[in-house]
Amino acid sequence: MELHQLRYFVAVAREGSMTQAAASLFLAQPTLSIQIRKLEQDVGAKLFERLARRVQLTAAGEALLEHAERALAEVERGRERVEEVVGLRHGRVAVGVLPSVGAHLLPAVLAAFRAEHPAVAVRMVEHDVSRDFEQLVHSGELDIAVTRMPATLAGLGSRTLVREPVVALLPPGHPLRDRPDVAVRELADEDFVCMRSGYGLRELADQLCARAGFTPRVVIETGQLSIVQGMVRSGVGVALLPRLAASGAEHAVPVSDAGARRELGVVWRPGSLASPPVEAFLNRLLAAAGARLG
């Protein structure tokens, strides 16, 4: 059973005549008759009684008509929905974002995208582990994700969005607090407040300390940036964070070590760009991030 055969069947049922149905379909009558016979063979029943000047639905034909009309209506609605998505009048985008990034990098992008495409729904998913985001994009659970670079999972497209310096959060009264910058090695004897192991921000802090020749003495581990900042503010210890993650902190001093920065980017599954809403959101994100690179 093929879609065009259902369309021909419905036309004949409505017209009550092979001749008139053929004319409305711009088909030769023998061609139409052949397709109706093929449909009857497929369903295993006679669909029309051939009378002298007209045709009449059999009981089997009446049973099929309702479903054929519904199927054709659904196909037409599907075509309309595709046109809506292609024209960005409908659709959705699922975006993953690190919490330290979502509040600072994406609001302007989301506002601009919504202004241009108000009918496209955007679903935001926050998560703390970049590697998990890559898996979610690869599996199709997310369309794109803003995450730490470089991407590690093969088969994903990726672009850098922003390179941000690392800063040292220092408690009130700390002797290095009034310096224009600080070297990580100068913090070797300090107590550290850090994100928990497994978080990208913790990995970044551990790498910077290792390059400076020491292992940080971690006194507090947490999964919340606000707790890190609060503990530093209360004098519990110091912290190393990228600038976006340190936003809102009471006092942050730039880190002078070469390479002390975090590189953020976007990853996507190449096949997902076949969706116009996803492609439009990615292009908006890349355009907005261009001025931040450097």
Domain boundaries, the chain: 3-86, 92-161+263-292, 164-261
| 43: Cα separation from own chain's centroid | 43
How many whole angstroms separate alpha carbon 229 and alpha carbon 241? 10
Q: Which amino acid does the sequence have at 3? A: L
| Residues β-bridged to residue 168 | 240, 253
| Each residue's pLDDT expressed in tens, for the chain with a length of 294 residues | 788 888 888 889 988 898 888 888 888 888 888 999 999 998 899 999 988 788 999 999 999 998 988 888 787 777 756 665 666 666 788 888 887 666 667 788 888 888 888 888 888 888 776 678 888 888 888 889 988 887 777 888 888 888 889 999 999 999 999 899 999 999 999 999 999 988 888 999 999 999 999 999 999 999 888 899 999 999 999 999 998 888 777 788 999 999 899 888 889 988 888 788 888 888 888 887 764 433
What residues have CB less than 8 Å from 130, skipping those under 6 apart?
98, 147, 148, 200
CATH number attached to the domain at 3-86: 1.10.10.10
Q: Which residue has the tokens 């093969």?
A: 154
CATH number attached to the domain at 164-261: 3.40.190.10
Return the DSSP state at 182: B
Determine the topology of domain 92-161+263-292 in CATH.
D-Maltodextrin-Binding Protein; domain 2 (3.40.190)
The Cα diameter of the chain in Å comes to 106
- Give the residue ranges of DSSP H helices in the chain: 3-15, 18-25, 29-43, 59-86, 99-102, 107-116, 130-139, 200-211, 225-233, 276-289
How many whole angstroms separate alpha carbon 149 and alpha carbon 153? 11
Same fold, 3-86 and 164-261: no
pTM (2 d.p.): 0.61
What residues have CB less than 8 Å from 35, skipping those under 6 apart?
4, 5, 8
* Burial annotation 17-32 (CB, 10 A radius, 16+ → b, else e): bbeebbeebebeeeeb
